[in-house]
Structures are given as C-alpha cells and as structure tokens.
Amino acid sequence: MKITVPATSANIGPGFDSVGVALSKYLTIEVLEDSSDWEVIHDLGDIPSDANNLLIKTALEVAPDLAPHRLKMISDIPLARGLGSSSSVIVAGIELANQLANLQLSDQEKLNLATKIEGHPDNVAPAIFGNLVVASYLDGQVSHLVADFPSCDFVAFIPNYQLKTSDSREVLPSTMAYKEAVVASSIANVAIAGLLKGDLTVAGQAIQKDRFHEAYRQKLVKEFAPIKELAQTSGAYATYLSGAGPTVMTLVQQGEGEALKVALDKLKLDGETFVLAVDKEGVGLD
C-alpha cells in the first residue's frame, strides 16, 4: 500500500491561515511488512526514523493501538520552505491510521483531526481534498469549501535555506487596529471572490495587497523583491509568499511558466525554480 499526499501553498496573499491550494510535489509513504518496532526508511536528512517521526506520532494519536510496521518515506516537498511539508506528513499519518486500523474516516473527519493537530486548516485541507480550499477553524469546528483553482501555471522559487514557521510568525504583530482589519478583510474577500469566479486579474491584484502578514515577512526573504519585479514586467498575475515562506510563488498564464522560470534562473538566486500545477486529487492510495 502506498499513500500519496500533495504539497500545498497556503495563504495565497490575504487568505491568512484559511486558504490553500494543492500542488504537484508529493510525499509518498509505502507500507512494508509488520515489525517489532516502527521504522521509517528515508533519505530526508535529520528527521527521526523511529516512532518519534511525525508520521508515526500522528498515526498513533489517531489510533494508539496500531501494530508497528516498516515504512518507506519518499518526498520531493522540501522541509521548512512554505510548501506544507509537515502538513503532508500529518495528513499521511492520519491516512496511515485510517487504513491500518480500518477506521473508515470521512474526509471531514480527516480534516477535523488534521486541523486539531496542525492548528489551522490552510495546508491540511488542500492536502486532503486537492484543489483550492477555503476553510475556517472556530471553537473546534472546521468549515470548508473546495473549488477549482483558475487555470494558470505556478512558478515556485524555492530558496536553499529553511525558514521555520515559528520564526516567521515572530515578526507578525500581536494586534491589528479595527479599521486596518476591515481593510485587510475586504482585500481578502476580493481575492477569494476573484479566485472563485476565475478572474485571476482581479484576484491577483488583491493577492498582492495583503495586509495580514506579507508586509512583515517579505523582509525575511531577500529574493522576494527581485522576483516580484521581474514577474510584474513579465505580465504575471501575482507574486506571493507561499505559506510562511521562504518559497516565492508567482501565478502566470497557463503555458507561460517555463518562460518565467528561464528568466528567473538568469537572476542566479540562491535556490531552484519549478513550474507546478494544481493537484486535484489530494491524499490518495495506490
């Protein structure tokens, strides 16, 4: 059995902690034989290979009596880069428990569990459902809506350095003035309305006007400004920080991603550029 979970790009500008889209990078978990102890085979660097792995910790939180197995973990979702690497593992852990314990969880139940573990639904929701997901988490209840993302290419510049979400959150203000919050909310509303209507021109303009987090976080990602400048001269819809960063995501017309990638590569920034597409399936089994 194999469990596959897509990468995700959260926030998409003003959709802070509530909006995300599934993208075409993947975590794959292969379930091997029974074992006396949990073992996770991987080449992903300094992450645990035993029951301390987030995958196993999540699975055991859902189903504490799971019998240990040997597992193989393969991922092209880079760690701590703003592409939902930890959320993909949490979603995979829930699905692992669901399958091994035959829990027959609904997607809503998976979302409830994942949001409780992660703390907010912006990454875990699209990892479960695929596509674009708008969600809220209030008083322990998760509400969500799944929709198709408008046709476009996602051009992701992934820096060679990590930026932990905890560090990125430290630069955010603890409060926001009422009038400023109303303005920020109105911008988010237009961004979501544009995405749902399929108007990336209107959505893109709103995405780049976010007031909730990007103004504070952009200074942590030195590559953001030159990428945005180049993208705008190339006619891109929008450039935004993916999740907490440092990945810089640009939305361009479908078919124009490779041209922007070539142009970005000429900047010789410290990282790698990928052209990604929307994953419409979410977590799946093979």
Residue positions in the annotated binding site for ATP?
78-88
d(CA 148, CA 130): 9
- Which residues participate in the annotated binding site? 78-88
Q: How many CB atoms lie within 10 A of CB 262?
A: 10
Alpha-carbon torsion angle 55, 124, 146, 83, nearest 10? -110
CB 38 within 8 A of CB 56: yes
d(CA 251, CA 240): 9
Q: How many CB atoms lie within 10 A of CB 7?
A: 31
d(CA 50, CA 152): 40
d(CA 231, CA 93): 37
**DSSP type of residue 44:** S
CB 83 within 8 A of CB 242: yes
E strands in the chain: 2-11, 15-34, 39-41, 69-75, 132-138, 141-147, 153-159, 238-241, 248-252, 271-276, 284-285
